[in-house]
Structure 1
Amino acid sequence: MFYSVTPQFNKDVPLFHIGQIPVRLITLLIALHTGVMVVTSLLLASGRASWINLLLYSSDAVWHGQVWRLVTYAFVSLPSIWFALEMLMLYYFGRAVEGALGVKFFSLLYVGLIFLGSGFLQLLSLTGASQEMSGAQAVNFAIFAAFVAIVPGAQFFFGLAARWMLLILLALSSLQLLAGHQFSAMLLFITESVGAVLFMKWRGFHELFWGLPSFSLFKIMKRTKAPSSPVKSSLNRSILTTPTPLKTNASVSKSIPSPKAVLSKPVKKVQAEAIDIDLLLEKIGHAGIASLTLEEKEQLEKARTALLQRDRS
């Protein structure tokens, strides 16, 4: 929906089903956020705002022993169109992150981000300034940062890579908070995003700003999907080669390279070329040959020409 390629992972397993509807952890999180939002609205409408204040984060209250505020603040929100958009983005990006990490580590990530936010503000309160907060905007944006750490080359609007979309949104949010003199909120926003990226790096997703735009995506897909069948492999190879007539024994013996000829080509170069072609084949198999860029098509054509020349020799 928001991006051009949706990753699929073998850890994307629902917790349970309600009829034919799969229920995942991200579904329960959104239900919890929405349920508390409805209860908050009803309590405010009935004049019981003091009950809601008991759930908001307050550094002074935490120092006085009300430690539950370190967690409950994240689920207190008011109804608005921004809340609906926030939940929509949390579902799409959170589902991908949950599928990549599994329920256990996704739970650890989300709860850890909640404690990271309140713990960071609690430390800031040691400077003498009281800190208050409600809602999980920074936490949910950090889930988007975790998604970008998985597929940094996924394309958004106008072909913009996810890694640059993350930097742009983070910069705009920081400038907005800075202009409003909300320095603590700005630092919190950045800290949550960096924390999410570091967590994903700990779990093995560490190519956010390195390598080709789509390299990490295909590396993850190659690691998690089942081995391809011989029939599929032969179909993929048919893209590179054209049918050639049957060869006689003499021509077959000529087409077999000598050990000297094989060793004359650097091993690292051969391995690098093989990896590049494998990545292109993965991309074609997932999104079709039309998804290749002009440079990738030229690389594919060079590989095809090299194979044809090898067959003729």
Structure 2
Amino acid sequence: MKTVETKKINKGFLRNFLEITKFRLSISVVFSSVAGYLLGVNEAISFNITVFLLLCFGGYCMVGASNIFNQIIEKDLDALMDRTKNRPLPAGAISNNLALFYGIILTSLGLISLYIINPQTAMFGAISIILYVAAYTPLKTKTPLSVFVGAFPGAIPFMLGWVAATNDFGIEPGTLFMIQFFWQFPHFWAIGWFLFEDYKKGGFFMLPNGKKNKGTAIQAVLYSVWTVLASLIPAFGFTGALYLSPVAAILIGGLGIWFITFAVKLYKNQTDKAAKQLMLVSVSYITLLQIIYVLDKFIR
């Protein structure tokens, strides 16, 4: 009997922990950091398994902690929205004090892990969690500019991997930052579009002009174009050690046309279905871009 009860408790703990740290989102962020790390290693900086594992562990801890603090702050608002009302905190599966404990422990472990890699990596990790929790989260109910503010911590993981590998911030990680920075606008505006009514229940302002109209859609198109242009800059030799071969540039260009096409589709149709499609395509775009960047480096 005790064994059965213990298994139930363990399963409940693991499920709640994964939910409150937003496991899938956190893994996708770690994936970006891993891609940046692989892009940063070279003949002079060989792959280091210890650094790699510390980056994965520390990155997950920092993103998980950010998500926990975000949910503590938004607990009452999450209870109002259909997509979030069953999260561990509003559902009462985890107490605020326990969630705060998790957040503090994960933040500490994350910063220590990233600092062991190098101080710059820890600094950017700290900047990310501070901006996300202290700026982006409270601004979500105040102004659509919250998406702009949130794009800064959201763009750090891709460049963080490069900094972890090289202990240096220059044009290369700056370019990786710029790509993911621009990408977040059409991605989050698409989410804000098809979840507009649910976000409204919680009082969140996610769309640039607060409405599902052509004004919002045209901005999604523009930022999609800027994302693709930023993604192609390394093909022209302006970004130091970060370089794309002509073949990779063609592949990225093809992905970019696909991405922009769905942004234009949102502009033309202005439907929730088009917004959801743009969101899914945006996720595919950034994931495939990072894979192509890494493969191009090691294959050419």
TM exceeding 0.5: no
Q: Compare CA radii of gyration and give the structure with the larger one.
A: 1
Superposition TM-score, scaled by structure 2 size: 0.31
Structure with the bigger percentage of helix: 2
Superposition TM-score, scaled by structure 1 size: 0.30
